[in-house]
Structure 1
């Protein structure tokens, strides 16, 4: 969602396709960040094939997005944790506390010694090529546009879920 103020700023130059990549360009970002929803408020239908990427990613990624069917009263929820200073601090703290793991440990759901992985773990990468190799193992979009991955939207970290109830991170070590 955009605020009406942001829409007024951007509407005259809004692109016909790949608006999500366009929004990542510094001319539009201007130091702003986008909040990734915790609860999907939209579903992707066959009409989604004609969306932002003109069908480029629909089959592999977008068609798997499912609309949340359980009511959540956003107007009654305490969303103060989304304020930039609070969110940034909490996110950085979570990533710093996340345990570094190897690819095979994430895939197996446990450390090589048999111990179950904690909720938050991180995989380190140091080059675009290394990121792509890891991303492909987990079927995470691996394209780089506007000098960073589509999904690197916060402190060079790509957040993805691989197993139910786990949050896993790619964390840039460079």
Structure 2
């Protein structure tokens, strides 16, 4: 029992300082993925936390809680099962219009419907993210909120923007178009 308490104490001390960062380390996620909810179900109520308010004003303060009542028990959530989700998510990404070039924000704004933008590496991702004003943060080869290297966000309307990693389409079984 004492060995277990020691082990648990070590884990808690590592995780307590930033569990989301801890989960993105390769040694911890070991290739496993998390899906990101479409509507944020958490709320940051103060700017002084583990990041010392570093990103609060720009990224966290604008987050609003969902104010629409949803009867989750009546919803069919089977699309969230792994095999179904890969297909569902892959279909969304495949249908999104690919856009290229330095003026991605302007192109995304002028296209009706979802768009996808491919990034080559971390530096390219950070450059594109900065243009859209989204979080550029990257940990151990993984952009924050990425699923199979794809970061999804909504830009100014209901359109989705998919920032797609160099091998993300392949991971989803999509032929590059």
Provide the TM-score with structure 1 as the length reference: 0.78
SS where residue 159 of structure 1 aligns? strand
Distance 1:42 1:52 in 2: 16
**Where does 1:31-42 land on structure 2 (aligned, <5 Å)?**
31-42=31-42
Structure 1 unpaired stretches of 5+: 1-9, 111-116
Q: Quick check: 1:17–1:54 contact (8 Å CA) kept in 2?
A: no
Provide the TM-score with structure 2 as the length reference: 0.77
SS where residue 59 of structure 1 aligns? helix
**Where does 1:78-97 land on structure 2 (aligned, <5 Å)?**
78-97=76-95
Q: Quick check: 2:25–2:139 contact (8 Å CA) kept in 1?
A: no
SS where residue 151 of structure 2 aligns? strand
Structure of higher RCO (CA pairs closer than 8 Å, 6+ residues apart): 2
1:136-173 superposed Cα distances (whole Å, 9 cap, x missing partner): 0011111221122223x211111111121100111123
Distance 1:137 1:119, change over 3 A: same
**Partner residue, 1:158:** 151
Q: Quick check: 1:42–1:68 contact (8 Å CA) kept in 2?
A: no
Residue among 120, 124, 130 paired with 2:118? 124
**Partner residue, 2:142:** 148
CA-based RMSD of the aligned residues comes to 2.2
Aligned residues: 156
